[in-house]
Amino acid sequence: MKLILPFFTLAMSLADAAPPTETKPVTDEYHGVKVVDEYRWLEESGSPAVKAWTAAQNEYSRAWLDARPDRAGIEAKLTALYAKDTPSHSGIVSRPGRLFALKFQPPKQQRLLVTLTSADDLASEKVVLDPNEIEPKGQVAMDWFVPSPDGKMIAVCLSKNGSEDGTLHFYRTDNGEHLSDRIARVQYPTGGGSAAWTPDSSAVFYTRYPHQGEKPEADLNFFQQIYYHKLGTPTSSDEYSAGRDFPRIAEIELHTSDDGRWLLASVANGDGGEFAHYVRETKNGAAWRQITRHEDGVKEVTFSHDGANLYLRSVKDAPRGKVLRFAIEDTLADAQVIVPEGDAVIESITPTGRFLFLSDMIGGPSRIRQFDQQGKNEREVPLPEASGVGGLIVAGDRILFRQTSFVAPAAWMLCDPGDMSVKKTALFNTSPVDFSDIEAVREFAISKDGTKVPVNILRRKGTKLDGSNPTLLYAYGGYGHSMRPTFNFEHRLWFDRGGIYVVANIRGGGEYGEEWHLAGNLTKKQNVFDDFAACAEHLIKQGYTRSEKLAVEGGSNGGLLMGAFLTQHPALARAVVAHVGLYDMLRVELDPNGAFNVTEFGTVKVPAQFRALHAYSPFHNAKDGTAYPAVFFLAGETDGRVNPAHSRRMTARLQAATSLANPILARFSSASGHGMGTALSEKIAQKADVLAFLFDQLGMSAK
């Protein structure tokens, strides 16, 4: 007999009051298979009926959450912790004589754009742009920024309400003057956005989506191209540069060589990890030249410090990566392998004037190696065990990088290649809470096909493995995205109630290279879900927890993971939290951003891919009369990456299908999108709701 927790009676009475959802069956046929959808009408975001349904669900969920006796206390605790948090710096970019960085400084709602003379001189910090002064409630955010080569100007992409629908603005660094130039449609969640300056800092190349009238309405968030804008001139006179022959689902990133002579365009074929690369000189009239194609397996191209050569990170016949090098006037056929494939996954290439630095990953933790420019004389940068590394920045002949771990706050570190010394700069975080009682252990679960899957377990020292510990399991598993060690002081609230927090490095990610990614995409996506279930079973088998004390959480592609997990293993966990997830895998490609995901998930147009999608699509695999766990869906109304209709329809389907009184809740926020650019107050409110839900369902009372 399963444990009946003391809150069950209250949950049952409230679950009975879940707002009813009208069914309007629609039948589609795919390759001879008829599929019935009773909730298609919930896709009509702007209709009065959908707005009324959403309001009713929000009201129902709000009543349930606010009835938790400690919900208000959780939010107050989180707010107090953020108020004590030290400022953090991210997205650092180096220019002569100064660094540019995004500074997160609670209780401010959005990040600031600041400059410093060095990473060791906090007194030199100056604010260039504070979006909180534009909109005090935090509804204006910076999507990205690019300083000019001389550092005197900054191009900044701004968007509202977490929409990532961005307009490019220009500011003077020294006095924050906002120039009159405005370039709309440079950024959208489908393909992102980018810009790069000319050497004299007088103009930019930028990404641009079609304007009204240039393409049919359905294509306005596709066909990204490259244009040229000279400051002080009307955007109507901007010049087309490239992109008419790029894929419909192109995602373009622009970079220039250090001397500004060369411009590089990296063109992704949607989100599946295929890239083509093009170069040209930045001078007027120069022609673009394609240097790699999608089938070449080149993931990254970067300029040598002097701009004379190109370094390439390739997975062609080397799934963990190798480094190629050739002169910029040559072709890929002339490239030489200078760093062959090894035991670790090569993640990034950072050249300096004398050296070549590679950032590696070994199943989750990171490593940095130093070579000469010919790929010889390898040396390893000393790092603490189980570190995460990111954001390598050239600082003269030294390297600035951000170091993270599961149990210590992040810090920007400076490596001197002369003696390989590493020291902490002034840009580091201190935590508002103490983690000295927490340890991170790494174990391996065995998946359905025998694959070993890393499981990173954060627990209090001395935790008893008696199956009684409330445990939260998190994973992502897609797009080759790797889950590296990171610190989150919010977990203190979880640990203080006896909880264990677990991060799994499942397939679909990039922790073990391209093979690990490809083993979890297209028709092999089921491996991702099998890996995650195996991790849950491992935690139970090893005595960390039991099903009644286990919760799982994921977002975006990880939200799909949650949907597949709960429909395939409804009895394995007590509670599920799914953020901004995908749940109807047969119709996802019809959304603007869904088309970009075809190279990762597949398409219903291909019979084998349809069969795979239909087999795991959470919406289509929810079964009436099934004892589903408690589920909490969160979505943003301005989400341009994942249509919130997925969460609406999955909520309705589960509320109708479940045979238990476990709550099926949904939270639809009008003040957020996919998560990027969300105001701090909204982030705290969302986290408080999630914790109140989990504490209630796992019986985690305050101690």
Structure tokens that stand for 359 in this block: 């950032």
* Burial of 464 (C-beta count, 10 Å sphere; 0-12/13-18/19+): exposed
Q: Are 323 and 375 in contact (CB under 8 A)?
A: yes
Q: Is 556 a catalytic residue?
A: yes
Query: Are β-strands 98-104 and 112-116 bridged in parallel, bridged antiparallel, or unpaired?
Result: antiparallel
Indicate the length of the chain as a whole number.
703
* Burial of 216 (C-beta count, 10 Å sphere; 0-12/13-18/19+): exposed
d(CA 535, CA 558): 15
Q: What are the DSSP calls for 339-363, one per residue?
A: E---SSEEEEEEE-SSEEEEEEESS
d(CA 182, CA 188): 16
Residues β-bridged to residue 243: none
d(CA 690, CA 670): 17
Q: Are 482 and 386 in contact (CB under 8 A)?
A: no
249 alpha carbon, distance to own chain's centre: 19
Q: How crowded is the C-beta side of 147, counted as CA atoms within 13 Å?
A: 25
Q: Is 491 a catalytic residue?
A: no
d(CA 644, CA 674): 9
From residue 511, how far is each of 25, 266, 363 by CA, in Å?
Answer: 42, 23, 4
- The catalytic residue among 229, 305, 517, 674 is 674
d(CA 82, CA 157): 26
* Helix segments in 401-503, DSSP class H: 491-495
From residue 549, how far is each of 66, 162, 340, 666 by CA, in Å?
Answer: 22, 34, 46, 22
Q: Which residues of 636-659 are buried (b: 16+ CB within 10 A; e: fewer)?
A: bbbbbbbbbbbbbbbbbbbbbbbe
Largest CA distance in the chain: 76
- The catalytic residue among 148, 163, 556, 669 is 556
- Tell me: cis bond preceding 470? Omega within 30 of 0 counts: no
d(CA 699, CA 365): 33
Q: Are 422 and 414 in contact (CB under 8 A)?
A: yes
Q: Which of 566, 548, 589 is nearest to 650 (CA)?
A: 566
29: DSSP letter: E
- Spatial CB neighbours of 698, under 8 Å, sequence gap ≥ 6: 470, 499, 548, 549, 551, 574, 575
Structure tokens that stand for 489 in this block: 């002081």
* Burial of 291 (C-beta count, 10 Å sphere; 0-12/13-18/19+): buried
First to last CA, the chain: 28
Query: Are β-strands 630-636 and 664-669 bridged in parallel, bridged antiparallel, or unpaired?
Result: parallel
User: What residues act catalytically?
Assistant: 556, 674
